[in-house]
């Protein structure tokens, strides 16, 4: 299913370039020799504002778009603000996809999330598991919004013949992640808490849930490589999973984080807190068949992320607790 390589001199827009994913994609495009990269902060273009998005696309007319902009957060944020997660993401996606199609964007990659799949999907989760069962209740609003994005990509392909695709990454981590106590995902949240406990000399660290759910983690630099690879080697309406094909229990992850930051206290699991989906391992045979594989191991990537986090702490750009 190989298609023509991307034109490195054509205008390429990375939506959400200040986030974890968008920042990594932008850096990878720069390293790959893309010379006409376009970005816009939310202050410059509010992607929830249809008129602003239409004006931006009419002015810039990018040939290629990576749609990495989204409202994202961990289990607490999703459970607390489901209406915001639904509304913001629906508007961002609809506005960007419609404007891209209207102004002649040739290729577009929409990035969703592995949480679009049913809570009890057969493991590892194949792409055709989509819409075959009930979602995880703690993030169903966000998941439905992302499912709508996948369907919009498919609808635009059918109606307008555009070469737009969608990809579903597994849990991501790496430099540039969100370490905010109220909005972080599990891995940056663990890094922040264990580093704070090490610095404060706390005897215990509490981890939400039982520790038994299994999760898969992909370094964001590997995801950035996958985005360009898919844009150059895939042209179909079916979403493509992006992951490493391996997972581990949260308890094991927590101990790995503790070891990496040098915390020697006790781990305590608060079983009154929700576990979320029991397992979420992606079947990555499709993207492996296209010639891409993850390269950064979890221990290596985690060590680099902890080092980056400590640099940000020293610079005062992130909070320690």
CATH number for the domain harbouring residue 158: 3.40.50.720
For residue 112, count other CB atoms closer than 10 A to its CB. Answer: 27
Q: What's residue 277's pLDDT?
A: 77
Residue 181 lies in a domain: no
Average pLDDT in the 284-298 region? 98
Residue 196 lies in a domain: no
Q: What's residue 131's pLDDT?
A: 97
Q: What's residue 307's pLDDT?
A: 97
Residue 25 lies in a domain: yes
Contact status, residue 318 vs residue 305, Cβ threshold 8 Å? no
Residue 321 has pLDDT above 80, yes or no: no
Residue 166 lies in a domain: yes
Considering its fold, how many domains does the chain have in total? 1
Residue 82 lies in a domain: yes
- Rounded Cα gap, residues 127 and 241, in angstroms: 7
Bridge partners (DSSP) listed for residue 166: 110
Give residue-wise pLDDT tens across range 235-244: 999 999 999 9
Q: What's residue 236's pLDDT?
A: 98
Check the annotation: does 97 bind a ligand.
no
Q: What's residue 62's pLDDT?
A: 98
Bridge partners (DSSP) listed for residue 315: none
Percent of the chain with pLDDT over 90: 86
User: Residue holding tokens 């991501």?
Assistant: 172
Give residue-wise pLDDT tens across range 104-135: 999 999 999 999 999 999 999 999 999 999 99
Give residue-wise pLDDT tens across range 55-67: 999 999 999 999 9
* Contact residues for 285 (Cβ-Cβ < 8 A; gap 6+): none
Percent of the chain with pLDDT over 70: 98
Check the annotation: does 104 bind a ligand.
no
Residue 1 has pLDDT above 60, yes or no: no
Q: Is 92 exposed, middle or buried (0-12, 13-18, 19+ CB in 10 A)?
A: buried
Residue 185 lies in a domain: no
Residue 74 has pLDDT above 80, yes or no: no
Check the annotation: does 243 bind a ligand.
no
For the sheet containing 107-111, what is the strand order? 37-38, 12-15, 64-67, 107-111, 163-169, 240-242
Q: What's residue 68's pLDDT?
A: 98
Query: Which member of 13, 81, 142, 173 is catalytic?
Result: 142
Q: What's residue 73's pLDDT?
A: 79
Give residue-wise pLDDT tens across range 189-220: 999 999 999 999 999 999 989 999 999 999 99
Check residues 80 and 7 and name the one with the higher pLDDT.
7
Residue 2 has pLDDT above 60, yes or no: no
Residue 309 lies in a domain: no
State yes or no: is 234 an active-site residue: no
Q: What's residue 319's pLDDT?
A: 65
Total number of residues shown for the chain? 321
Check the annotation: does 21 bind a ligand.
yes
Which pTM does this prediction carry?
0.94
Contact status, residue 271 vs residue 209, Cβ threshold 8 Å? yes
Q: What is the largest CA-CA distance in the chain?
A: 60
Check the annotation: does 17 bind a ligand.
yes
Q: What's residue 274's pLDDT?
A: 83
Give residue-wise pLDDT tens across range 155-181: 999 999 999 999 999 999 999 998 887
Average pLDDT in the 30-34 region? 98
Structural domain span for residue 85 = 12-176+217-243+280-297
Check the annotation: does 215 bind a ligand.
yes
Check the annotation: does 74 bind a ligand.
no
Contact status, residue 66 vs residue 25, Cβ threshold 8 Å? yes
Check residues 141 and 76 and name the one with the higher pLDDT.
141
Q: What's residue 183's pLDDT?
A: 62
Q: What's residue 275's pLDDT?
A: 85
Give residue-wise pLDDT tens across range 215-230: 999 999 999 999 999 9
Residue 102 has pLDDT above 70, yes or no: yes
Q: What's residue 175's pLDDT?
A: 93
Q: What's residue 317's pLDDT?
A: 86
Average pLDDT of the residues of the chain: 95
Residue 311 lies in a domain: no
Question: What is the SS3 assignment for the chain?
Answer: CCCCCCCCCCCEEEECCCCHHHHHHHHHHHHCCCCCEECCCCCCCCCCCHHHHHHHHHHHCCCEEEECCCCCCCHHHHHHCHHHHHHHHHHHHHHHHHHHHHCCCCEEEEECCHHHCCCCCCCCECHHHCCCCCCCHHHHHHHHHHHHHHHHHHHHHHHHCCEEEEEEECEEECCCCCCCCCCCCHHHHHHHHHHHHHHHCCCEEEEECCCCCEECEEEHHHHHHHHHHHHHHCCCCCCEEECCCCCEEHHHHHHHHHHHHCCCCEEEEECCCCCCCCEECECCHHHHHCCCCCCCCHHHHHHHHHHHHHHHHHHCCCCCC
Residue 185 has pLDDT above 70, yes or no: yes
- Rounded Cα gap, residues 112 and 103, in angstroms: 23
């Amino acid at each position: 299913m190989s298609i023509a390589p991307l034109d490195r001199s054509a205008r390429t827009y990375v939506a959400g370039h200040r986030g974890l994913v968008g920042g990594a994609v932008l850096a990878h495009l720069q390293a790959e020799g893309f010379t006409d990269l376009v970005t816009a902060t939310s202050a410059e273009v509010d992607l929830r504002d249809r008129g602003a998005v239409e004006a931006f696309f009419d002015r810039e007319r990018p040939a290629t778009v990576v749609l990495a902009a989204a409202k994202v957060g961990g289990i607490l944020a999703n459970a607390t603000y489901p209406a915001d997660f639904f509304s913001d993401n629906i508007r961002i996606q609809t506005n960007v996809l419609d404007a891209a199609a209207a102004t002649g964007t040739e290729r577009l990659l929409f990035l969703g999330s592995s949480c679009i799949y049913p809570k009890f999907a057969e493991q590892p989760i194949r792409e055709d598991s989509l819409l075959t069962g009930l979602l995880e209740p703690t993030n169903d609003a966000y998941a439905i919004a992302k499912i709508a994005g996948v369907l919009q990509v498919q609808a635009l392909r059918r109606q307008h013949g555009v070469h737009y695709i969608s990809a579903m990454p597994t849990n991501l981590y790496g430099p540039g992640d969100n370490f905010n106590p109220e909005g972080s995902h599990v891995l940056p949240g663990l890094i922040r808490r264990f580093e704070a406990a090490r610095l404060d000399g706390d005897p215990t660290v509490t981890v939400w849930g039982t520790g038994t759910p299994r999760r898969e983690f992909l370094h964001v630099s590997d995801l950035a490589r996958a985005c360009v690879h898919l844009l150059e080697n895939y042209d179909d309406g079916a979403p493509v999973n992006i992951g490493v094909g391996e997972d581990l229990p949260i308890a094991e992850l927590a101990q790995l984080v503790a070891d990496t930051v040098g915390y020697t206290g006790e781990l305590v699991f608060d079983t009154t807190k929700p576990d979320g989906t029991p397992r979420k391992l992606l079947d990555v045979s499709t993207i492996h068949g296209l010639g891409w594989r993850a390269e950064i191991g979890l221990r290596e990537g985690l060590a680099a992320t902890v080092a980056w986090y400590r640099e940000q702490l020293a610079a005062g750009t992130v909070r320690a607790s």
